[in-house]
Amino acid sequence: MKAFKAAVGVAFYLFLFIIVPRMLAEKVPGDSLGPLGSTETIIGYSTVIGLVLASVYAAKTLTPKHSAINLAACMLSDMVGFYIFLFFVGFGEPWSFGRVEKAIPLNAIAAAGEVVSEATITFDFRFFVELLAVVLAMKLVVRLLEFYLERVEENRRRVERKQPDADFYSTGS
């Protein structure tokens, strides 16, 4: 059942992040994406993100909760989600961390002839990026604590399985 769940999840991520953007790219003219960048850039980012999320989902689904691989996959999944948020909030520039300046060309006609100037618009979403970064940090700490508690519980279960039943060896008194 785990293998089926992993296969369905992997197929979902591959479809959502690889096939759907390519289908949409055929419908959308190349320059209409504007602030998000070129169509090829977005397809490249979504393909890499789709492959990472698909492999992370497979690792999370197929490994036991107390394994280090599961912990790494869960933490990587959270960080990829944060990166996706940064990508969209940064208008295709994830490392701007929510503060983006975009120049918009304005055509102004002056008496001396045509003068081309630019207006700069600043989008500042740093508060939301910082808030999500704090939430991500707390989520990673919770994942580490859950991993530690799951490891302790698994070790306790192992010890119980190896120790013989005390009632079996009692004298009955």
pLDDT > 70: percent of the chain: 79
Instruction: Mean pLDDT check: name the lowest of 31-35, 103-107, 114-118.
Output: 31-35
Residue in the structure block whose two tokens are 């102004």: 108
Please, which residues have CB within 8 angstroms of residue 119's CB and are 6 or more apart in sequence?
103, 104, 106
Q: 35-72 pLDDT, tens per residue?
A: 556 677 778 888 888 888 888 888 888 888 778 888 88
pTM of the model: 0.66
